[in-house]
Amino acid sequence: MKLFFKILKIFGLGVLGLVILIAGIVVTGLWYRKHDLRLERQAFPQVQSEADIDILAAELLEQMSLDEKLWQLSGESPFITYRRFLGTWVLRDQFAHIFSGRNRRLNIPPFVLSDGPRGAVVGKGNTSFPVAMARGATFDPDLERRVGDVMGMELRANNTNYLAAPCINLLRHPAWGRAQETYGEDPWLLGEMGVALVQGAQRHNVMACAKHFAVNSIENSRFYVDVNMDERTLREVYLPHFKKVVQEGNIASLMSAYNRFRGEYCGHSHYLLTEILRDEWGFEGFVSSDWVFGLRDGVKGINAGMDVEMPARTYYSRRRIEPAIERGEVTIEQIDAMVLRVLRTKLRFAFREDVMVYDESVRASRRNTDLAREVAGKSMVLVKNDDVLPFDIRHTGTVAVIGRLADVENTGDRGSSHVRAPYIVTPWQGISSYVESAGGRAILYDGDDVAEAARLAFDADAVIIVAGYTHEDEGEYIEGSSGGDRPDIRLKEEDRALIAALAGVNPATVVTYVGGSAIMMEEWRHDIPAILFAWYAGMEGGNALAEVLFGDMNPGGRLPFTIPEDENDLPWFDPWTDTITYGYYHGYTLFDRKGYTAAYPFGHGLSYTEFRYENLEVLTPAISGAGRLRVRVEVTNTGIRTGDEVVQLYIGFGNSAADRPVKLLRGFTRVELLPGETRRVEFELPVPELAMYDPDKREWVIERMTYEVYAGASSSPDDLLVSEFEIQ
């Protein structure tokens, strides 16, 4: 005790307080209790059906004080939350468990959020999948459903039950820093892949949460940028994929965006959160705020329909809300409605039977990492190939792997989506292991002497240049640290210099691109015989890359965005802008409308075999507004290798009286074909999916006219067969 007072006398209260605070952070970061997320069913024997759950939610609400209600609408206290978050992050390099809405008195379990665009973020030793943009390039919802399944089971094994995924913000411009977290530029692709992930994850009683609602496509100014657009652009371009995960995916939750929309923060927008999401779409789940800055005013949040403030109770504190109730700024009925939305959703998932046991053996199991490897291989896009790939290991004695990123553990962003995998296979590790196991020789050069790189390339039988980005160049913007929007959509100067030095040195050369979005390649793409987009490929990316380069796996990925010849053909983009207006057109719809030339179009991707399209048939040439369009096309593998083709269906609006896109993606399917095999691929599309939004009538309108139908291998007119049908 004397020592305590002696320290106090020497250093003062301030220093002592700092010591206590640091000690608290250390203790909290290293040790905290992980509460049970499952419900004690024996406490509620009366619940036998979903209707009973609704009754129970109302009964629990009736027993709550105002303070207990508000605790259902937020994370833990700021002191606990930020101390635990900081301690866990600094001391364990982990994402902390934040227990939201736990009520021990009433036996109400909490929920715990884990980010998840590419795997379970909370905890360590989880499966790290390729980023969502790579998975969008697979054009394979069934595969994405399997990814969601693994994410769901690993979340549960990590004592979490709320998945901050899918991210389905639209890629408007390739410089967007968080492009890697979404699936691409097209709303239909975003919706189909998003629904698949939701279905896979929610199978494990994990509540999926689509983000960020809405119009969030800039990173650096995300906290303050004001996004404007007309109503048709909002409804037809930026919201359809959110509507799809709500109505077809039955998603449990949505997360609001940081940015403003038409002058108002998205977390304060009654128009987005209530009028559209609930009144029009019929959403019955709950909305949570993006963390820390997603809610800035408790009264505005409640009036908008923002249900849960994350990660800590700040603006929804009793100190702020009780006086607002007394002043008539909000009502207890509004708060009750919010609590009921949270309770009903949470209890429905808590009462469902689990499909398996979620123990430590689940995390990064062989089954799960094998899937990560499969997804990585299926996501890779062969953009260009002048008879270079696949390399023949039987005639490839020496393989040179060159580039500063060749032996870097590089799975993408290290912000909220960073997965702590038990291991990461780099490109060099995967390629060298493959080559050496076949009796060949692999050499690595990751230095900055381009003359030395050229010498090694000249002497090799095959040259693999690894170029691209890391978390320092793009990703979630962390001020003073890393990430953010890219100031330049070309490769970095050192990569371009390396490619220029090696171009023409060895005809067996491929550039392997690591990154999360489109890049400009005009200054070098004509000089390099092969280009492969390998993305941020996850923990098994290096092994998958080797399998693709040497032909064990035939690349079947397709570009989920348009790559221009001229950067000026892209929409205007400023990462630090205060305000921006999003136009109706972007990506392939902009290129179609303006007649711009793409270096590589949306949906493009080559294979180690060839495919032929024939016999496009419209099986329903004349249909009503309530009917279903049926289309069939034949696809034949005309080569000598088995390969995957992504068959794409587009609908054209050339006869529209309104300003509409030349065509829109309205279906796709990935098929595996044996050499010589022909497959009849059939699409069926409800006619309401072709409607346009009439802002004056505030309703969706189906035009009675003749439409074009396109089927083929990409959005390029050169790759599409054309027919037509009529809506009467």
**CATH assignment of the domain containing 718:** 2.60.40.10
The verdict on residue 269 lying in a domain is yes
- The answer to whether the CB of 709 falls within 8 A of the CB of 687 is no
The verdict on residue 605 lying in a domain is no
Q: Are residues 560 and 636 in the same domain?
A: no
Based on the structure, what is the number of domains in the chain?
3
β-strands 628-637, 678-686 pairing = antiparallel
461, 333, 325: which is closest to 388 by C-alpha? 461
| C-alpha pair distances (Å), 269 with each of 74, 301, 469 | 18, 8, 36
Q: Are residues 162 and 273 in the same domain?
A: yes
- The answer to whether the CB of 91 falls within 8 A of the CB of 65 is no
| pLDDT tens-digit map of 230-239 | 999 999 999 9
Q: What is the largest CA-CA distance in the chain?
A: 93
Q: Are residues 476 and 375 in the same domain?
A: yes
Question: In the listed set 306, 336, 359, which residue is the last one of a domain according to the structure?
Answer: 359
- The answer to whether the CB of 80 falls within 8 A of the CB of 315 is no
CATH number at residue 253: 3.20.20.300
- The answer to whether the CB of 574 falls within 8 A of the CB of 580 is yes
Q: Are residues 349 and 435 in the same domain?
A: no
∠247-288-202 over CA atoms, to 5°? 50
| pLDDT (0 to 100) of residue 39 | 83
Q: Are residues 694 and 585 in the same domain?
A: no
Q: Are residues 596 and 616 in the same domain?
A: no
Separation of alpha carbons 534 and 365, rounded Å: 23
- Residue 36: how many other CB atoms lie within 10 Å: 11
The verdict on residue 364 lying in a domain is no
The verdict on residue 606 lying in a domain is no
Q: Are residues 349 and 392 in the same domain?
A: no
**For residue 338, with 0-12 CB atoms within 10 Å meaning exposed, 13-18 middle and 19 or more buried, which class applies?**
buried
Domain that holds residue 718: 611-727
143 membership: H or E segment, kind and range:
helix 141-157
Q: Are residues 581 and 616 in the same domain?
A: no
Residues with Cβ < 8 Å from 648, sequence gap 6 or more?
139, 603, 665, 667, 668, 711, 712, 713, 714, 715
- Terminal Cα distance for the chain, rounded: 90
| pLDDT (0 to 100) of residue 157 | 97
700, 671, 679: which is closest to 633 by C-alpha? 679
**For residue 65, with 0-12 CB atoms within 10 Å meaning exposed, 13-18 middle and 19 or more buried, which class applies?**
exposed
Question: In the listed set 553, 574, 600, which residue is the last one of a domain according to the structure?
Answer: 600
122, 131, 213, 193: which is closest to 161 by C-alpha? 122
- Retrieve residue 380's tokens: 């890779």
The verdict on residue 392 lying in a domain is yes
- Retrieve residue 112's tokens: 């715990």
Q: Are residues 204 and 295 in the same domain?
A: yes
| pLDDT (0 to 100) of residue 4 | 45
| pLDDT (0 to 100) of residue 3 | 47
| pLDDT (0 to 100) of residue 17 | 54
| pLDDT tens-digit map of 310-343 | 999 999 999 999 999 999 999 999 999 999 999 9
Separation of alpha carbons 404 and 498, rounded Å: 10
The verdict on residue 586 lying in a domain is yes
Partner residues linked to 706 by β-bridges: 726
| pLDDT (0 to 100) of residue 617 | 98
| pLDDT (0 to 100) of residue 527 | 98
Residues in the chain where the model's pLDDT stays below 50: 3-5, 7-8, 11, 13, 16
Sign for the CA dihedral angle at 123, 128, 131, 137 comes to negative
Q: Are residues 426 and 343 in the same domain?
A: no
| pLDDT (0 to 100) of residue 85 | 84
Q: Are residues 40 and 182 in the same domain?
A: yes
The verdict on residue 477 lying in a domain is yes
Helices (H), 167-253: 187-202, 231-233, 240-247
CATH number at residue 375: 3.40.50.1700
Partner residues linked to 652 by β-bridges: 663, 708
DSSP 8-state code for residue 665: E
**Which residue shows structure tokens 């890393």?**
482
Partner residues linked to 644 by β-bridges: 672
| pLDDT (0 to 100) of residue 479 | 80
Q: Are residues 39 and 175 in the same domain?
A: yes
The verdict on residue 416 lying in a domain is yes
- Retrieve residue 281's tokens: 């779409």
| C-alpha pair distances (Å), 169 with each of 182, 242, 269, 386 | 6, 9, 17, 35
Question: In the listed set 303, 335, 359, which residue is the last one of a domain according to the structure?
Answer: 359
- The answer to whether the CB of 535 falls within 8 A of the CB of 133 is yes
Separation of alpha carbons 618 and 605, rounded Å: 26
- Retrieve residue 47's tokens: 């619940």
- Retrieve residue 25's tokens: 């952070």
